[in-house]
Homo-oligomer: A and B are copies of this chain.
Amino acid sequence: MNPCVIPTASEDTVGDGRWMSMHNRFVQQAKTSEQEVVFIGDSIIQQLQFSSLWTEKISALHCINFGIGGDRVENVLWRIKNGEFDFNTPIKAVVLFVGTNNTDCTPHEIFEGILEIIKEIKNILGNVYIVIPTLLPRGQFPNPYRERNDHVNTFLIDKFSNEANKDELTENVYVVPIHENIVGNDQTISHHIMHDYLHLTNNGYTKIFGKVYDTLCQLLKVSRVK
């Protein structure tokens, strides 16, 4: 069976219990939060909250950050099914960004896992806006994981941006193509955008996640901060 669709708590391989500590904190924050937008995903979401894009622009949209470094699709699915989305106040939008850590899964498995998360979000929060930034390329030079993430993106764009595939699941789901214009003409990725060829620099966040911010502003009908 596809491992991405089986809700799975992250194994505490080290023994310091940090993943479960974070999950428990997010469950508590959901109960007491008065935020309107939830960001959930892996380390790329987690570190977004320390960027100037977050502090200067995104946070003004009343956003909360549930990113956990190393998270895989099935981990996010587990977290949502176990209380992190049990909010006491209405949520307007969710930004979901996960998949690059599923390096041992096929693109279609990752895609199916993301669909499963979307179903679960709609199940819990109703017909909120769901924003899916496309997976980013990784590695300084071409490698199989760039292609893998690109294939996931092809599935996502076909499902959610192709009118022919519209159904109940696609309603209010917006795929934002942030993966373009990152790889240079020579097929390399610059450390000025991705300092370790996976995670974004401060400027990288402004450039790449700026599109996510713009999408949120449009959906929430909020004026953008220039």
Interface residues of A (CB under 8 A from B): 14-18, 21-22, 25, 46-47, 49-51, 68-69, 103, 138-141, 143-146, 191, 195-199, 201-202
In the assembled complex, the CB of A57 is this many whole angstroms from the nearest CB of chain B, namely: 16
Contact between B46 and A143 (Cβ–Cβ < 8 Å)?
A: no
Contact between A143 and B196 (Cβ–Cβ < 8 Å)?
A: no
Contact between A16 and B68 (Cβ–Cβ < 8 Å)?
A: no
Which chain B residues lie closer than 8 Å to A141 at the CB level?
17, 21
Interface centre among A46, A51, A197 (most CB of B within 10 A): A197
Contact between A50 and B198 (Cβ–Cβ < 8 Å)?
A: no
Task: Given contacts A17-B140, A47-B47, A49-B195, list 14 more A-B pairs with CB under 8 A.
Answer: A14-B103, A14-B145, A15-B103, A16-B145, A17-B141, A18-B197, A21-B139, A21-B140, A22-B191, A22-B197, A25-B191, A46-B196, A47-B50, A50-B51
Given known A25-B191, A50-B202, contact A139–B197 (CB-CB < 8 A): no
